[in-house]
Structure 1
Amino acid sequence: MSALAYGIQLPVQSQSTIYAEPWEADAGPVDLVEIARAAERAGFDYIASCDHVAIPRRLAPAMSTIWYDPVATLAYLAGVTERVRLLSHVAVVGLRHPLISAKQYATLDHLSGGRLILGVGAGHVQEEFEVLGVDFERRGPVLDESIDALRAALGPDEFPEHHGKLYDFEGLGQRPRPAREHVPLWVGGSSPAAVRRAALKGDGWLPQGDPRDRLPAQIARIRHLREEASLQGPFVFGAITEPLYVGEPGWEVGRRTLTGAPDLLAESLRAYRAMGVDQIQVRFRCRDRIELIDQISQFGSEVGPLL
C-alpha cells in the first residue's frame, strides 16, 4: 500500500468561524508566506486556498468576509516556494466564464512550473450567483459544463474548442498554456450529485465534511460509477481529517481534536489509507503562527514518515 499524502488548507486566507483561530484576524501576507514555506519544508503535498467573491450580510457573522482570491493567493505563494503543489479548494468556477478561469489558472500553472491542482465546486451562496448573473438553482449543470469547457481550455490546444448549451467558443487562442498537457481537476462536495460529478468528470474527489464512517460508502460509489462508465485512469480520493495537535496541548483544543504522540496520531490517520483514501487534508489547532509552524514541522518530521 502506498504512503498517504497530506496537504493543508491555509489559514488566514479564509476565516469562517467554523475553523478560523482568533490570531488569524490580525494576520496577513507575511504569515501566509511563512506558513507556506513551512509546509513545503515539512513535505506537504499541497497548500490550498478557498474561493468566494462576496459574502452577503446575513452570512457574514458565521463566514466572515475574509476570503482571499485563490488565483492571486496561490500565485503569490508560488513565487516564494519551489515544490509544493497549489490547490484551489474549491474554485466556484460556475461564477465565471470558462475562458476567464482558464486564462487565470493556465497562467498560474505556467508560472509555477506545473504545480496547479484545480479543485472545483458548485458553490452555496445564492447572493453571489445572483449578483453575478448566474442561475443559482442550476449551479450543478452550470458546473458540469464549466468542467467540460475548462478541460478543453486547459488542454494542449492553443485554440481550444467547446460547443455546449451555456458556452460556445472556438478559434480563440490563449497563451501561455499550462506547463503540463493535463492539469489535475479534483471535484469537491459530498452530495450525491457532487460525488457523481467527481466520479465521471474529475481526476479526484475532495469531500466536504464527511466523517470517517461515511467515507467507505462514498469511495465505493465513486469506484462503482467509474467502473460502469469504463473510466480507467488514475483517481485521487481525498479526506479532511479531524483537527490535529501533535503532542499534549496543555490548553483546550476541543473534543474532536486528535492529540497525542506522533505514533498514535499516525496510527489513527492510517485508517484513512486503509479505507481507500489517497490524500488527507489536515488542519492544526494553534494559538499563533509560531505554534502552527511548530505543529506543521512536527507533523512533517514525526508523523508524516509513519503514514
Structure 2
Amino acid sequence: MTFFPDTAVPPGRLAVGVVLPSRAVRRAQRLGLAAAARHAEQAGLDLVSHRHRPAPGEPPPDAAAALAAVAAATDHITVVSEACAPRLPSPDRTAEQLAGLQRIAHGRLVLGVGADSGPTPRAAAGIPYEPHGPYDLCSPHNPYDPYDPYDPHDPYDPYDLHVPYDPHDPHEERERRTDAVLRLLPRMLAGERVPPPYAYGPGCAPAAPAAAVRVPPVWIAGGTHAAVRRAALLGDGWFPSPAPAAEVAEGTVHLAELTAALGRKPPVVAVGAVAALGTEPGLPGRADIAAGLAEAHGAPAGRYAEVPVTGGAREAAERLHSYCGAGVSRVLVGFAGGDWRRQVELLAEVRDLVR
C-alpha cells in the first residue's frame, strides 16, 4: 500500500498518526528515528510525522535526511513532512529533494508547508527575519495575514509569479516564495524544465528533477486567514495544529467557502493533538499540557483547555472523535511525556476505536 486517498477514511472516522520523538527524547530513551518510525508502523498507525524544529541550543536537523531515513525504514505508513519551508531553498533544490524523497517513500510522502522557520534558515536563503507574536485561528484582526488574494488592489498578487515585489518586506518576500514554489511543483516534479519565479531574483537556475515523480499531497499548516486561503488555492490539505475543535470547525467552513468559489475540491483537514495516555507514573495532566501549549504559543491560559488527550483508550478516543464534527479526517498526535514506545502502543488502541 502507498499513500491512502481521502476516500479510505469514512465520514465520521479518523486516520491516526504520531509525531516522531524529538532528538532529546530519542537520546534519553535510546530510540533511533528509523526504529521509532518502524514501531509506529508495526503498531498499526496510519501516519508518521517528522517535526523539523530543533530544541534550544541544538543545530537545525537535516530534514531531508531525516525524512529519507523514515521512508526507507517503513513500508506502508504515510510519511508526513511537517512544517517544511519550500520557499527557503532554491526551486531546483526543492524539486530535487522532494523527488528523491518521493522515490524512497514509493509515493507515501505528504509535504507539510509551515508558516515559520526561524532566523537561521531564512538568513541562509537571504530572507529577513522578523519574529511574530500569537494569533487566533481565523481571526479577522490577525496582523500577520500577509495578503488577500481576492482583493485586486492588494500589492501582493498571488496569481502572478512574475510581478515586482518589495524585497524589504520580509512577510511579502516569504509568502511570494512559498506560493511560487507551490505553483511550480507539479511542473517541476513532472520533469519539466521551468523558469525560476520572479520572487527568487536573477541568477536562480531553472528547476527540474532528473526524472518525473508523482506530486506529493501538500498540507498547508497554520491557523491564520493566509494559511486557510493558501490551502484553498494551492493545498491538498489544511493542518491547523494544534487548535480546539470549535476553532477548527470555523476554519473548515471558511475553507469550504473559498474552495467552492474557486471551483476546487475542499482539501482534507488534519489536526495536531498532544497526548499523555494511560496511567504511567509522572505523566502530565490535562491542565499541565494546556498550560504548556498556551505558553509556547503566547496564548491565553484557557485557550488550549480542550486540546490535551489523556486517560485510557476510550476517553482518548472520545476526545479525538470530537474533531470529526469539525471536518477533520486525520490527526497527528505528539506525546507530552512517558515512554514513547508505550505511548505509541496505547495510541494504536485509540486508533482502533476511531478508525
TM-score strictly above 0.5: yes
Quick one: which amino acid aligns to residue 345 of structure 2? S
Measured after TM superposition, the shift of residue 239 of structure 1 is 0.8
Query: How many angstroms apart in 2 are the aligned matches of 1:281 and 1:124?
Result: 20
Task: State the identity as a percent.
Answer: 28
Correspondence 1:21-32 to 2 at 5 A: 23-26=25-28, 30-32=31-33
Q: Return the offset for 1:245.
A: 2.6
Q: Does 1:73 align with 2:61?
A: no
* Residue in structure 1 matched with residue 93 of structure 2 by the alignment: 100
Q: Describe how 1:145-294 pairs up with structure 2 within 5 A.
A: 145-154=180-189, 156=190, 158-162=191-195, 164-166=197-199, 173-178=208-213, 180=214, 182-232=215-265, 235-241=267-273, 243-254=274-285, 255=287, 256=289, 257-287=308-338, 291-294=339-342
User: Aligned residue for 2:21?
Assistant: 11
Q: CA offset at residue 124 of structure 1?
A: 4.5
Structure 1 pair 231–173 and aligned structure 2 pair: CA distance change class (3 A)? closer
Native 8 Å contact 1:85 1:117 kept in 2: yes
- Aligned-pair Cα RMSD in Å: 2.5
Q: Determine if contact 1:120/1:187 at 8 Å carries over to the other structure.
A: yes
Partner of 1:90: helix, strand, or coil?
strand
- Gap change, CA 1:260 and 1:87, over 3 Å in 2: same
- The TM-score normalised by the length of structure 2 is 0.72
CA distance in 1, matches of 2:323, 2:256: 16
Relative to structure 1, is the Cα distance of residues 296 and 63 closer, same or farther in structure 2, using a 3 angstrom cutoff? same
How far apart in 2 are the matches of 1:173 and 1:95? Answer: 17
State the partner residue of 2:346: 298
Can you give the 5+ residue segments of structure 2 that lack an aligned partner in the other structure?
Answer: 1-10, 130-169, 290-307
Asked if the contact 2:17/2:331 (under 8 Å) is kept, the reply is yes
* Cα distance between partner residues in 1 of 2:42 and 2:210: 32
Deviation at 1:160, TM superposition (A): 3.6
1:261-290 CA-partner distances (Å, limit 9, x unpaired): 211111111001121101111012334xxx
Q: Give the C-alpha shift of residue 152 in structure 1.
A: 2.0
Q: SS at 1:87's partner residue?
A: strand
- What is the number of equivalent residue pairs in this alignment? 280
Over 3 Å counting, the alpha-carbon distance change for 1:175 and 1:76 in structure 2 is same
CA distance in 1, matches of 2:64, 2:205: 25
- Shift of the 64–227 alpha-carbon distance from structure 1 to 2, 3 Å rule, reads farther
Deviates more, 1:74-83 or 1:123-132: 123-132
Shift of 1:63: 3.6
Q: Equivalents in 1 of 2:276, 2:124: separation in Å?
A: 40
Q: Which amino acid aligns with 1:221?
A: H
> 1:24 deviation in Å?
4.2
Change (3 A) 1:152 1:50: farther
- In 2: Cα distance, 1:24 partner to 1:51 partner: 14
Shift of 1:176: 3.2
Give the letter for the 1:117 counterpart. V
Residues 38, 229 of structure 1: alpha-carbon distance in 2 compared, 3 angstrom cutoff = same
Matches of 2:351 and 2:229, distance apart in 1 = 31
Distance 1:248 1:227, change over 3 A: same
Inter-partner Cα distance in structure 2 for 1:246 and 1:223: 33
The answer (yes or no) to whether the contact 2:188–2:208 under 8 Å persists in 1 is: no
Give the secondary structure class of the aligned counterpart of 1:79. Answer: helix
Cα offset for 1:238? Answer: 1.1
TM-score between the two structures when normalised by the length of structure 1: 0.82
CA distance in 2, matches of 1:265, 1:220: 25
Q: Distance in 2 between matches of 1:252 and 1:172?
A: 48
Distance 1:175 1:240 in 2: 34
Matches within 5 A, 1:17-56: 23-26=25-28, 30-51=31-52
